A and B are shown apart, each in its own frame.
Chain A
Amino acid sequence: MNLDRRSFLKTIPAAGLLAGCGKASKIRLALNWKPDPEFGGFYAADFSKHGLDVEILPGGAGTPTVQMIGAGSAEFGIVAADDALVARAQKNDIVALFAVFQTNPMGIMAHASRKLKSIEDVLKGGTLAMQSGLPYARILRKKFAFDRVKVVPSTGGDLTSFLKDENFAQQCFVMDEPLHAKRQGVEVTVFPVSDMGYNPYTTMLAVNGETLRKNPDLAKNMVDAVREGWRTYLDNPASANARMHALNPTVELESFAESAVAQRSLIEANPLGKMTRERWETLAAQLKELGDIPQVPPVEQAFRDL
């Protein structure tokens, strides 16, 4: 065991895991939002079958899963690929193991009544609520003129302003807010961010690099359990939905069912959760161009195919 000061703090969580090696020790999986269908496979997984005692920690607005994994307050966490690369550039050694969304589920939604044809149209007027700090937003700013649209902060999923104002457009997850809006009587047009060429893996299972090196079996068991869980969820989401709904009762159960169906096409892959070097390299190049990372790193260190 390497005990220089640099890695001292990082060995503490890993040492804890080593102590429980071989037996089912408590593993924490930190989500980056409240329980809903985007995490369905994790709630459907049978961890104990793979010798794991996993505690899923629901998140919310701004849960810093990247830092939690780095600091050891959770062994595994859910992160997006762009966040992972930025973290690694800051010497936070997190490694992606499984990518739930093969297609980025983020999008911009607008009232269908506006009859808009593209994202560029959205930017021609009205108001747009988005998280301006996210890479896709900054790519949009580089590509298109923003002088006629009023940009305001993201509403965090809340639809109040959207429903009230026909010219209000907002960032969304394609399997989530659009369905809610429709249920409230507003038809929407959705422009997926992936269509404009920005398509990072999303909702990835990530682990601390040190933990991975010390305990590759743990990581492999985790990925196996998660892969099975997602297969189960894609085929039959009902029981996991019920479990998640108990934890997140503000959204109706039928919404969960609808979202589970809507997101399938973004998730299906063979095998589930797979990642390719190409996609990571494309993403790295995009982030370097934005200035989010200083240079393109060796991406094979950023993810592992287990």
Chain B
Amino acid sequence: MRKTVSAAIPFVVVTLLVEGLVRAGWIQAFLVPPPSAVFQTILRDWPELSEAFAKTSAGAILGFLLSSLAGVAIAVFLSSSRRVQDAFYPYAVFFQTVPIIAIAPLLVIWFGYGLRTVVASAFIASIFPVIANTLDGILSTDPALRDLFRLYRASPAATLWKLRFPAALPQILTGLRIAGGLAVIGAIVGEFLGGQGLGSVIDIARTQQRTDKVFAAVLLASVLGLALFGLINIVSRLVLRSWHVSEQS
């Protein structure tokens, strides 16, 4: 409980500060809406915003789950040999650098308008940190531990699943933490293309110069990102609780 209060204090302070500055005219309201207007909009347009929130959540969470599973699988594949890494890792970097807007028409053609494009966009945006962190974790296993496994003639598969993968878990979870937020951003960009959810709310409100609604949607998107982050932290605590230094108090 105390952690939540500590985290909330900066938010409250900044909100009050911005409210004051806008009301006094120091910040123009057409650039930054007063927080009171944003909250009013959230309350007034709640049915529309909550439905949009649900849609974006679905897209982001599905995209994130897919990128987590695929990312770990790809990293395991890449870890199998130096040659495999050299051959395929550069293509993984493609996922990180491609601007989704650039491939937008293609995404829409392949996945249509709606949830599938949103999930695809969230997937593309969030998969690389999972691959990079998982691979790094698997490849960074303590050489002495690897010697131990070699001594008992453990097969490469046994070494992977009984040693390298569990040893990589802290790193994998770090990658997931990063990917969660990126999945939310990716989902929203996908919604600019696919036409639903918070992304659509932002896109339409922007053309109407409804900055209050834009900020309201952005705020809700942040809540989604926070929720995902919190979820991963819970998983991390459960998995690492007994043995990793990061979860010992």
Contact = CB atoms under 8 A, between A and B. Distances in A.
Interface of A: 5-10, 62, 66-67, 70-71, 83, 86-87, 90-92, 127, 131-134, 150-153, 155, 158, 160-161, 164, 292
Contact of A160 (B105, B194, B204): B105
Contacts of A133: 203-208
Nearest to A88: B30
B28 A164 contact: no
Interface string B92-107: 0000000000001110
Contacts of A66: 30, 209
A5 B28 contact: no
A87 B209 CA distance: 7
Interface string B193-231: 111000010011111110000000000000000000000
Contact of A161 (B24, B108, B204, B208): B108
A90 B29 CA distance: 7
Contacts of A150: 113
Interface of B: 24-31, 104-106, 108-109, 113, 192-195, 200, 203-209
Contacts of B113: 127, 150, 152-153
A151 B105 CA distance: 16
Nearest to B211: A90
Given A152-B195, A160-B105, A161-B108, A70 B28 contact: yes
B105 A131 contact: no
Contact of B193 (A70, A83, A153): A153
A6 B105 contact: no
A155 B203 CA distance: 12
7 contacts: A5-B24, A91-B29, A127-B113, A131-B207, A133-B205, A153-B203, A158-B104
A70 B203 contact: no
A3 B213 CA distance: 32
A6 B192 contact: no
Contacts of A62: 206
B30 A90 contact: yes
Nearest to B191: A153
A132 B195 CA distance: 10
B30 A87 contact: yes
Nearest to B112: A152
Contacts of A5: 24-26
A71 B30 CA distance: 9
Contacts of B29: 90-91
Given A150-B113, A153-B193, A70 B31 contact: yes
A292 B205 CA distance: 11
A9 to B, nearest CB: 7
Contacts of B206: 62, 133
Contacts of B26: 5, 8-9
